[in-house]
Structure 1
Amino acid sequence: METFYEQFEIYLEGAMDEQDRRDFERRLEADEAFRMEFESYRAIRSSLQENWKAQAQTEALQNTLQGLG
């Protein structure tokens, strides 16, 4: 059995089959605690992705500047 977090990730990646996606979305509507946990997970995931993206851009800029100097 997958953990909630594994389910959240599979859902956010768009990797659930149609029936699992519908079941997941019904649970989001019906279970407030599950929905709140999902929203927290999604917010943290988004923040981490933005941080990693910014870090990669900073490293790329540093490499470019080192190559010029």
Structure 2
Amino acid sequence: MSKKTLFGVDYTDKEWIKIILYLFVGGTAALVEWAFFYGFNQGIGMEYMLATAAAFCLATLYHYFLGNILVFTSG
């Protein structure tokens, strides 16, 4: 199992920090999805159904990679 550190603090066995980080990653993923949707729909004029699908895919990738980096240890 790899050590998880954030700002020099080892949180490998601290479940409460992992829960807070998981909520942070999920919340920021929602903000990322909304930002991409707005940018696609209003910024470049993409049709809203396509903008929704594209924003969802990008936010899901963001959530997956950031969750693996910050929260999960099993990779």
Provide TM-score, normalisation by structure 1: 0.49
**Greater share of residues in helix:** 1
**Greater share of residues in strand:** 2
Provide TM-score, normalisation by structure 2: 0.45
Q: Which has the higher contact order (CA 8 A, sep 6+)?
A: 2
